[in-house]
Structure 1
């Protein structure tokens, strides 16, 4: 009120027709009604903005918590194309596979729209792939992930070999999990061998299924963990039969290698919903498989959730629900660095 009075006294031309000459600028609230006037409206907007800034800072300082087994859910930005164009491009992608450059461009343009659709609907993987079949075109899962989680996209390739592979092998040997000699192994082979040790270092923990008297405790074995993470089959495996069985028994993405032995795989695939997406190396396959959980918006399988949690929070440096097992392994790795 004092500010309004000073204003009209200093600038008489701003007086209104009221007896005080300042009601247009400020009128006190009465009978439980708020104060009004240009000055009050301005102050109200400033207070709102300050509260919004304070709330944003508070949220930024609090790291997001994600339930165990669930990939971190990033905030999806606003869609950059209209619904009409998104629907048109989606329909084109459902009915065309060439030219590949056009597929890649349209997939990139619809990435945010697709992420929103997947998150807003409780679709199965099959339903998602029916809506967006080109997610299984090579490179498209990685492209979507790059657009949604840019900073983390290259972390596996940047971090695994230089910082983690040898330490993982050291810890596996220390625990008696690894007896294979490393002499003569290439750098890539060392990295792949280290990936295969993760299930032994991050074994499944028990969990409850059901409620009340009908509940039961389930504990998967390390072998089950390994198979849910990286399966291995000999050359000549009937892939049609294998994929048919996988579609019924493994409703989650995982990696398959083919070869005479695990250390010398001749082919590597990411298996999702009965489809095989071939990759050049095991590291690439793990990368695509990890990203598939985010793009398909699905939880990690219980058999190997700690393995994926470790890769997510430690290697990809993405926030999420870290189990005690993951934190313990991270501590041991840090101890290796200090020694």
Structure 2
């Protein structure tokens, strides 16, 4: 049945989910590692394999984001000091900009980068006790910034983050390039929103954990936009994720 329904990679993922082996994923199996090595050439296969696993959920980010963007920005303004943490340049940095006057593309870029500020930074169990990430680490493990002209091979060689993350180059308000980084490989994306979609789907197709530093940000994206499960590791969401989700669900949109 699995052989006739899924390609090799989704079949492997489905079997791991059925076996209940999704809770601790620090290593890629060889088959999934080989698949990751082809990402820069076959990024459309990520979407294809995700659709085979979750056909109803595949387009939900793009369908729901435009409708909820104004309310997301309203909540970001109410709950965070995003200008202070994100260090945007130019008019945004003055604090005088009215959010509603931004063009949608810029508002999307600001809102996505501000999402980690809405939730506590992630916490990881260590040998010497729990280790909590800083706010900056949470933001950087979700979306990392770089300048135009950044040497990508050098950046990949120095990358120590095992879980996929997003990289943008240029002005963070309107980045000129967006990528998803998976180990030593990059997937080029047309926009930051597409990069979020691809990164989320890579995590699900490869069946690995979110980066622990920004795990609550991804948990929100998973629950609210894609409507998938009770958590990537079958854990219940923290109160701030539930609060934000409830705020958006109550809006008459």
1:244 counterpart SS class: helix
Q: Is it true that 1:220 corresponds to 2:133 in the alignment? A: yes
**2:126 is matched with which residue?**
209
Cα deviation, residue 123, structure 1: 8.2
Counterparts in 2 of 1:299 and 1:132: CA distance versus 1, 3 Å: closer
Please say if residues 166 and 194 of structure 1, whose CA atoms lie closer than 8 Å, have aligned partners that are also in contact. Answer: no
Report 1 or 2 for greater relative contact order, CA contacts < 8 Å, sequence distance ≥ 6.
2
**2:165 is matched with which residue?**
254
- In the alignment, the residues of structure 1 paired with residue 123 and residue 33 of structure 2 have an alpha-carbon distance, to the nearest angstrom, of 32
- In the alignment, the residues of structure 2 paired with residue 126 and residue 275 of structure 1 have an alpha-carbon distance, to the nearest angstrom, of 16
- In the alignment, the residues of structure 2 paired with residue 142 and residue 291 of structure 1 have an alpha-carbon distance, to the nearest angstrom, of 7
- In the alignment, the residues of structure 1 paired with residue 108 and residue 132 of structure 2 have an alpha-carbon distance, to the nearest angstrom, of 28
Counterparts in 2 of 1:160 and 1:125: CA distance versus 1, 3 Å: same
Please say if residues 166 and 180 of structure 2, whose CA atoms lie closer than 8 Å, have aligned partners that are also in contact. Answer: yes
Report Cα offsets for 1:40-84 as digits up to 9, x if no partner.
xxxxxxxxxxxxxxxxxxxxxxxxxxxxxxxxxxxxx62218xxx
Q: Is it true that 1:301 corresponds to 2:214 in the alignment? A: no
**1:124 is matched with which residue?**
27
- In the alignment, the residues of structure 2 paired with residue 123 and residue 207 of structure 1 have an alpha-carbon distance, to the nearest angstrom, of 13
Question: After the TM superposition, which residues 154-303 of structure 1 pair with which residues of structure 2 at under 5 Å, given as runs?
Answer: 154-163=59-68, 165-179=69-83, 180=92, 181=97, 182=99, 184-210=101-127, 215-246=128-159, 249-259=160-170, 261-303=171-213
Counterparts in 2 of 1:158 and 1:219: CA distance versus 1, 3 Å: same
Q: How many residues align?
A: 228
Larger Rg: 1
- In the alignment, the residues of structure 2 paired with residue 256 and residue 131 of structure 1 have an alpha-carbon distance, to the nearest angstrom, of 20
**2:52 is matched with which residue?**
147
- In the alignment, the residues of structure 1 paired with residue 149 and residue 101 of structure 2 have an alpha-carbon distance, to the nearest angstrom, of 27
Please say if residues 312 and 320 of structure 1, whose CA atoms lie closer than 8 Å, have aligned partners that are also in contact. Answer: no
**1:78 is matched with which residue?**
2
Cα deviation, residue 161, structure 1: 1.6
Cα deviation, residue 189, structure 1: 2.1
Unaligned runs of 5+ in 2: 84-91, 232-236
- In the alignment, the residues of structure 2 paired with residue 287 and residue 311 of structure 1 have an alpha-carbon distance, to the nearest angstrom, of 9
**2:86 is matched with which residue?**
none
- In the alignment, the residues of structure 2 paired with residue 123 and residue 203 of structure 1 have an alpha-carbon distance, to the nearest angstrom, of 23
Counterparts in 2 of 1:134 and 1:327: CA distance versus 1, 3 Å: same
- In the alignment, the residues of structure 1 paired with residue 174 and residue 218 of structure 2 have an alpha-carbon distance, to the nearest angstrom, of 23
RMSD: 2.6
Please say if residues 271 and 277 of structure 1, whose CA atoms lie closer than 8 Å, have aligned partners that are also in contact. Answer: yes
Please say if residues 122 and 138 of structure 2, whose CA atoms lie closer than 8 Å, have aligned partners that are also in contact. Answer: no
Q: Is it true that 1:115 corresponds to 2:30 in the alignment? A: no
Please say if residues 121 and 134 of structure 2, whose CA atoms lie closer than 8 Å, have aligned partners that are also in contact. Answer: yes
Give the TM-score normalised by structure 2. Answer: 0.80
